[in-house]
Amino acid sequence: MSDERKRPIDREKYRRTARNFTDKNRSAEDAENQFEFTRSREEEREFGTDPNTGSEINSPPEEQESISNFRSTEEPPRNSGGGGFKSFLLPLLAGIIGALLVLGAYLLFTGTDDNGETEESAGEETASEVDSNQDLSEVKQQLEEENTDKVITDTTAAVQKAKPAVVSVINMQRIQSIIPGINSTSEEAEEAGSGSGVIYKTEGDTAYVITNHHVVDGAEEIKINLESGDSVDAELIGSDIWTDLAVLSIPSDVVETTIEFGDSSDLLVGEPAIAIGSPLGEIFSGSVSQGIISGLDRSVPVDLDGDGSNDWEASVIQTDAAINPGNSGGALIDANGRLIGINSMKVGIASVEGIGFAIPVNEVEQVASQLEENGEVTRPFLGITLQDLLNVASSSVYDQLQLPEDVKGGVIISGVQENSPAAEAGLQELDVITHLDGEPINNMVELRQHLYYVKSSGEEMTIDFYRDGEQQSATVVLE
């Protein structure tokens, strides 16, 4: 286990305030209706990263051991004269026998192993190590045996089964000075943001952690804080901006357990859902919130580059389990403690409550496998830059297209890369794509989804488009 420990809480340095947090892409109006966790005024920084920005203020207080010492407090009766050596010897033997009886009783009721550790302390260590491959009933039985004075529910057992595999992920960067007129960068990487992650696999000396792309985006170093309190360095294996997933690796010898995968295709609306993660940073690491599955196969528009235009539609699970900044990359589990999704985002408007989203675990498995193998997700390449037709409907560019009145949707080609499949097929700038393989295409999101989810590299794809008001067709061979 690593000797590097999390820093203790500086209670004078941090305090809670009733202010609002926001994503970098959200409007100021939305930000006024949200909540944030900030530092004291003299040390407040503005990192400009994402809503998972938090402070490393976790470290639980040091554990205190209570040691019971057994000693004899009896004194031999005083010699009142007479009896000599015999009167001294008998009380001494009685004292020795009494001490041996006390020691024997202590060992009998506590017991020791070969290493001198008591069975009681060994039991405490075992209690924290729950095997993810155990059935929920086995986990529940184990908890009941260790907590005879408590009522253990299925929810408690599910959380205890999955929780050791959920970690905090710290994004470390060299921060530039925010003092006007001073342009400097910190020599050592500092915490620029934080989120959560899930240990899902061990292989030899390596353990693999899944988290969100936006949690580790721009990181120069990445640290993982385990539930045990240990902190280890992580290596970025691969990341994918489109699915918002990333895979990290850490040494396997620090890992107690991995999470069990469920099946997101078998989910039903209304069944329990439990979110585990580190909302608002390390201070609330390992937090658990419960809700239900509120919706399946939701499509949520995502602006990846911050230009105000949607670049993608994420296919997600909707839940009303509380998901806050810092929960991103954490686990959404079912009633059996199995992973059903990776928490990714929420609706953060004042008038909206309880709408959070998670990436389905079936997609997580597919993407994680490719990131492990290739460091990236391989997708078909067409070689064009795009713009939605609706975005230029009221501009002079629209008149140049000379489109028929019945063409209301499509994608304008704003650039063609040399020697790309699109260039070889004869596509040009200002061509308006309306169909792919006969399927209507109304915007960039639909084009990318058809290209990434329906097609594969090496396949042919038919493109219907308008050029100078005339409808044409071309066949491309995707790379």
Q: Is 264 helix (H, G, I), strand (E, B) or coil?
A: helix
Question: Rounded to an integer, what distance in angstroms lies between the CA atom of residue 424 and that of residue 99?
Answer: 94
Which has more confidence, 9 or 331? 331
Domain 384-477 fold is Pdz3 Domain (2.30.42)
Residues annotated catalytic, as ranges = 214, 244, 328
Kindly report the number of other CB atoms within 10 A of residue 258's CB atom.
22
Percent of the chain, pLDDT > 90? Answer: 38
pLDDT tens digits, one per residue of 446-476 = 898 899 889 988 999 999 999 999 999 999 9
Give the list of residues 6+ apart from residue 125 with CB closer than 8 angstroms, or none.
Answer: none
Poorest-confidence range of 130-134, 373-377, 384-388, 433-437? 130-134
Question: Rounded to an integer, what distance in angstroms lies between the CA atom of residue 355 and that of residue 324?
Answer: 11
Tell me the CATH class for 264-374.
mainly beta
Q: Is 454 helix (H, G, I), strand (E, B) or coil?
A: helix
Strand ranges in 58-180 using DSSP code E only, listed in sequence order: 166-173
pTM comes to: 0.64
pLDDT tens digits, one per residue of 281-304 = 777 787 899 999 999 988 888 888
Question: Rounded to an integer, what distance in angstroms lies between the CA atom of residue 442 and that of residue 98?
Answer: 91
Kindly report the number of other CB atoms within 10 A of residue 196's CB atom.
30
Structure confidence at residue 40 as a pLDDT band (50, 70, 90): very low
Question: Rounded to an integer, what distance in angstroms lies between the CA atom of residue 248 and that of residue 237?
Answer: 5
Q: Which two tokens stand for residue 165?
A: 């595999």
Amino acid at 32: E
Burial of 441 (0-12, 13-18, 19+ CB in 10 A): buried
**β-sheet bridge partners, residue 167:** 197
Residue 245 dihedral angles phi and psi, to the nearest 5°: -130, 150
Q: Which two tokens stand for residue 56?
A: 């490393």
Question: Can you give the pLDDT at residue 339?
Answer: 95
Give the list of residues 6+ apart from residue 384 with CB closer than 8 angstroms, or none.
Answer: 413, 415, 416, 417, 420, 422, 427
Please compute the mean of the pLDDT values over residues 45-73 and round it to a whole number. Answer: 34
Domains 264-374 and 384-477 agree in fold: no
Instruction: Please choose, from the candidates 164, 218, 155, 219, the residue with its C-alpha nearest in 3D space to the C-alpha of residue 331.
Output: 164
Q: Is 208 helix (H, G, I), strand (E, B) or coil?
A: strand
**DSSP string of 418-448?**
TTSHHHHTT--TT-EEEEETTEE--SHHHHH
Question: Can you give the pLDDT at residue 132?
Answer: 53
Q: What is the CA radius of gyration of the chain?
A: 31
DSSP label at residue 15: -
Is the confidence at residue 150, as pLDDT, over 80? yes
Q: List the chain domain ranges.
A: 264-374, 384-477
* Inter-CA distances, 245 with 201, 213, 218, Å: 16, 5, 14
Question: Can you give the pLDDT at residue 371?
Answer: 94
